[in-house]
């Protein structure tokens, strides 16, 4: 039997999804006013208030006394939030989002790979190797759940292995990119064999402490991913 708490949670999640995606798509323009009572239509007032709190934490809205909830411009959004990344990838701003994410990864992940060659723990080195072995095993189903899970595991482990907490905190951002690539049919069914090999090169270079090789291979991975997604979106 579904509990009242679960019902409230599902209503809240649905409201956040509906309003957040509408704001990011531009259906609700910056400066628009949302009346709290109207937000609760079809849901509880508690769910409406909680949804507004979530949207506020994402930088999408600001609550003003007596005038309701104001939609904020994109310059105020928490663009690193996985929710906003997902909404941008699902909307008309997908190309810009992919370009920005590729640029971010190109700047950060090679540095993280270089640092990981010096800072990774033995457990992290084993985790990287295990992840790339799983990627190799499932490379003929690269748009499937197992390959995606291994890919996410690899990149999150690498960022954490850098020993840099700021890099590690970007794990959810990179995961959102990888999930979005699969979700929006930007990932081929058969993985690029070069990309799989470059992941292996990174893992083995980190394990051996070869910083330059790790950084170089990671740069190739990020560039290939960006170019592959750009080619698909251009064809569309």
Mean pLDDT of the chain: 90
**Residue 3, H or E segment:** none
Range with the largest mean pLDDT of 5-14, 32-41, 164-173: 164-173
Handedness of CA 48, 49, 50, 52 (dihedral sign): positive
pLDDT tens-place string over residues 208-232: 999 999 999 999 999 999 999 888 8
pLDDT for the residue numbered 106: 95
Confidence of residue 47 (pLDDT cuts 50, 70, 90): confident
**Each residue's pLDDT tens digit, 170-209:** 999 999 999 999 999 999 999 999 999 999 999 999 999 9
Q: Name the CA dihedral angle for 166, 170, 171, 175, rounded to a multiple of 10 degrees.
A: -170
3-state secondary structure of 77: coil
Higher pLDDT, 52 or 68: 52
User: Given pLDDT bands bounded at 50, 70 and 90, which one contains residue 134?
Assistant: very high
Token code pair at residue 201: 């090169």
Going across the sheet that includes 68-71, the strands are 33-34, 68-71, 61-64
Global confidence as pTM: 0.86
Check whether 102 has a pLDDT greater than 70: yes
């Amino acid at each position: 039997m579904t509990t009242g708490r679960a019902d409230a949670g599902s209503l809240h999640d649905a409201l956040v999804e509906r309003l957040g995606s509408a704001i990011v798509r531009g259906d609700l323009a910056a400066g628009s006013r949302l009346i709290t009572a109207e937000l609760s239509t079809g849901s509880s007032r508690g769910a409406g208030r909680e949804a507004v709190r979530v949207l506020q934490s994402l930088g999408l809205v600001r609550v003003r006394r007596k005038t309701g909830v104001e939609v904020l411009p994109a310059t105020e959004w928490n663009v690193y939030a996985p929710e906003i990344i997902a909404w941008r990838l699902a909307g008309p701003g997908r190309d810009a989002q992919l370009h920005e994410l590729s640029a971010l990864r190109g700047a950060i992940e090679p540095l993280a790979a270089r640092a990981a060659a010096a800072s990774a723990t033995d457990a992290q080195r084993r985790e990287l190797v295990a992840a790339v072995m799983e990627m190799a095993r499932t490379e003929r189903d690269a748009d499937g759940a197992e390959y995606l899970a291994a890919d996410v595991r690899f990149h999150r482990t690498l960022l954490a292995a850098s020993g840099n907490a700021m890099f590690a905190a970007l794990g959810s951002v990179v995961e959102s990119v990888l999930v979005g690539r699969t979700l929006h049919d930007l990932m081929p069914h058969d993985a690029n064999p070069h990309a799989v090999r470059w992941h292996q090169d990174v893992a083995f270079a980190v394990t051996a402490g070869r910083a330059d090789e790790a950084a170089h291979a990671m740069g190739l991975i990020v560039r290939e991913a960006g170019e592959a997604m750009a080619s698909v979106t251009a064809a569309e």
